[in-house]
């Protein structure tokens, strides 16, 4: 049996989908029967590891042994010490993936091909880190797909009507917010732009609930709320109740406190405004206003909040579209993409038919440039080589010259920024190094810089001394200039994941 699957490795929840024999994608529940699995890992003192619902239940009680939200640190140099072992975002992610894999394989047998999703604005390092996590989990990951693109794919394949126009994908999950605009014509998806807020999601709304409850508790008792009496999970439960009811009861240390939706919405209106500002930025990038959007597609569990729907109705003048469960569409789309990438001989005729006639084009998520000396201004500046939203794959070359006679090296750098900036202090330097020159030449010797961005979201950079033909080629991959990554010493089998 072929098991073509897609995995949404989320900040707060993850999900796995399989393309069924009839060619349609379907979420596969975990062994507790849940369609989504919390991305929470708990280490126990007997050396075992809990992943998912059970680990999430310990939040607020066993926090020092819990690791969560590691997705925010993917590709960064972050470590977590638990019971004498050092973990990284990669090893923790591998445990989450292993749990999904185990629960899946207990029912269907071995996974034959898999795609894991990543946020559109994930850096090269974060993408590589995701691949490494999959490898440690024993998954043969050939492709990743950007989350909004996966959601658009699920929408395009499931939509009953003929799609034609620009669509906005509004993804408000547990930890992050993203808005993507894509042109969709039937099953052809062309991503135009993505904007987002890195730290805006359900967690921020939960915190506001905790603030409301704390102040009510103080008012009622004169005392401070003990965090163990009202955990982040309790706050989340209240928040979820308020999506379907006008008020909910918080039970805290013998007190019953009413929280109304009105109070909640007033306390979180600035969060919604932040998301609205991102949507406006995305529209500006594409050069259209809200009326140019055919439909808004809801993705992410937090879009179940009525205030999200209200905000979008106000901005776009129409109801946003909800198809299925908003926290499942990314995984569904990922499995469709996995099937799309599978050899067609490995698909049955029904699957093959479903996968026909669709295409995808992604857009570059950032401006990528280099730092050079601008003689006119007498200072260093950034020149962008790949612009944000450039259709990918793409490759661009810019020409520079040496500054001094008999120059023996040039500093090379790769910069990344969300906006078109020329101040080196405002951009992030994602790589730097030097290109050695032969020397003996006058100033003005040509240096050619070529950046390429591939379909899988990774980038290559080439710095070339045109005179001698010497090149510095950089594949921006993890650990390329650091020491031995910690993950190389990690033994996935030493951690029994449940």
Residue 240 touches which of ligand ADP, Mg ion, none (Cβ within 5-8 Å per kind): ligand ADP
Determine the distance from the C-alpha atom of residue 380 to the mean position of all C-alpha atoms in its chain, rounded to a whole number. Answer: 33
- Would you say 173 or 202 has its CB closer to Mg ion? 173
Considering only residues 98, 208, 216, 239, which one is a binding residue for ligand ADP as defined by CB under 6 A? 239
Task: Give the x/- contact pattern for Mg ion in 169-188, rule: CB under 5 A.
Answer: ----x---------------
- d(Cα 294, Cα 31) in Å, to the nearest integer? 39
Query: What residue has token string 């440039």?
Result: 369
Residue 175 touches which of Mg ion, ligand ADP, none (Cβ within 5-8 Å per kind): ligand ADP
If binding is defined by CB under 5 A, does position 25 make contact with Mg ion?
no
Residue 232 touches which of ligand ADP, Mg ion, none (Cβ within 5-8 Å per kind): none
Query: What kind and span of H or E run contains 307?
Result: helix 306-316
Tokens representing 354 are 């479903």
If binding is defined by CB under 6 A, does position 300 make contact with ligand ADP?
yes
If binding is defined by CB under 6 A, does position 327 make contact with ligand ADP?
yes
Q: What are phi and psi of 188, to 5 degrees?
A: -105, 120
- Would you say 69 or 487 has its CB closer to Mg ion? 69
The size of the interface with ligand ADP (CB under 6 A), counted in residues, is 20
- d(Cα 210, Cα 208) in Å, to the nearest integer? 5
Nearest to 353 by CA among 238, 187, 473, 217: 187
- Candidate segments 60-68, 108-116, 172-180, 419-427, binder of ligand ADP by CB under 6 A: 172-180
Least distance in Å: CB of 178 to ligand ADP? 10
If binding is defined by CB under 6 A, does position 196 make contact with ligand ADP?
no
Other CB atoms closer than 10 Å to residue 140's CB: what's the count?
Answer: 10
Other CB atoms closer than 10 Å to residue 445's CB: what's the count?
Answer: 23
Question: What is the chain's length?
Answer: 498
DSSP letter, residue 489: G
If binding is defined by CB under 6 A, does position 302 make contact with ligand ADP?
yes
Considering only residues 305, 360, 412, 449, which one is a binding residue for ligand ADP as defined by CB under 6 A? 305
Considering only residues 6, 10, 75, 457, which one is a binding residue for Mg ion as defined by CB under 5 A? 10
- d(Cα 72, Cα 77) in Å, to the nearest integer? 12
Q: Are strands 13-19 and 37-38 parallel, antiparallel or unpaired?
A: antiparallel
- d(Cα 301, Cα 28) in Å, to the nearest integer? 17
Binding site for ligand ADP (CB under 6 A): 10-13, 36, 173-175, 201-202, 236, 239-240, 243, 300-302, 304-305, 327
Residues near Mg ion (CB under 5 A) are 10, 173
């Amino acid at each position: 049996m072929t098991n073509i699957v897609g995995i949404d490795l989320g900040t707060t929840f993850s999900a796995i989908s399989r393309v069924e024999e009839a060619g349609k994608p379907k979420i596969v529940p975990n062994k507790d029967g849940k369609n989504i699995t919390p991305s929470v890992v708990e280490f126990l003192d007997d050396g075992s590891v809990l992943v998912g619902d059970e680990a999430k239940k310990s939040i607020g009680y066993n926090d020092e042994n819990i690791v969560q939200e590691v997705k925010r640190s993917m590709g960064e140099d972050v470590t977590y010490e638990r019971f004498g072992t050092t973990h990284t975002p990669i090893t923790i992610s591998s445990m989450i993936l292993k749990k999904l894999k185990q629960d899946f394989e207990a029912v269907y047998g071995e996974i034959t091909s898999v795609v894991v999703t990543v946020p559109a604005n994930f850096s090269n390092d974060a993408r590589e880190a995701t691949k490494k996590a999959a490898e440690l989990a024993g998954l043969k990951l050939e492709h990743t797909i950007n989350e909004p693109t996966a959601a658009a794919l699920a929408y395009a394949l499931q939509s009953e009507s003929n799609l034609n126009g620009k669509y906005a994908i509004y993804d408000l999950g547990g930890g992050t917010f993203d808005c993507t605009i894509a042109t969709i014509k039937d099953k052809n998806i062309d991503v135009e732009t993505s904007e987002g807020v890195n730290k805006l999601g359900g967690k921020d709304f939960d915190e506001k609930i905790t603030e409301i409850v704390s102040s009510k508790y103080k008012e009622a008792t004169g005392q401070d709320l003990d965090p163990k009496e009202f955990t982040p999970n309790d706050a989340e439960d209240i928040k979820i109740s308020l999506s379907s009811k006008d008020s909910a009861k918080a039970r805290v240390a013998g007190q019953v406190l009413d929280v109304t939706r009105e109070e909640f919405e007033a306390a979180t209106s600035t969060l919604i405004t932040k998301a609205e500002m991102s949507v406006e930025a995305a529209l500006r990038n594409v050069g259209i206003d809200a009326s140019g959007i055919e439909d808004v597609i809801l993705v992410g569990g937090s879009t179940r909040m009525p205030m999200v729907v209200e905000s979008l109705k106000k901005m776009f003048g129409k109801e946003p579209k909800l198809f299925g469960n908003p926290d499942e569409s990314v995984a569904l789309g990922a499995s469709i993409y996995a099937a799309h990438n599978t050899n067609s001989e490995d698909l049955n005729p029904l699957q093959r038919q479903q996968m026909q006639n669709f295409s995808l084009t992604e857009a570059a998520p950032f401006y990528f440039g280099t730092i050079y000396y601008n003689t006119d201004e007498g200072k260093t500046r950034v020149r962008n080589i790949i612009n944000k939203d450039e259709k990918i794959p793409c490759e661009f070359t810019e020409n520079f010259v040496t500054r001094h006679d008999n120059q023996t090296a040039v500093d090379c750098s790769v910069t990344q920024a969300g906006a078109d900036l020329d101040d080196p202090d405002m951009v992030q330097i994602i790589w730097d190094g030097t290109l050695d020159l032969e020397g003996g030449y006058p100033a003005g010797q040509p240096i050619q810089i070529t950046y390429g961005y591939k379909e899988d979201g990774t980038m290559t950079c080439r710095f070339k001394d045109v005179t001698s033909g010497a090149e510095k080629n950089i594949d921006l991959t993890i650990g390329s200039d650091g020491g031995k990554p910690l993950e190389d010493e990690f033994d996935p089998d030493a951690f029994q994941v449940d």
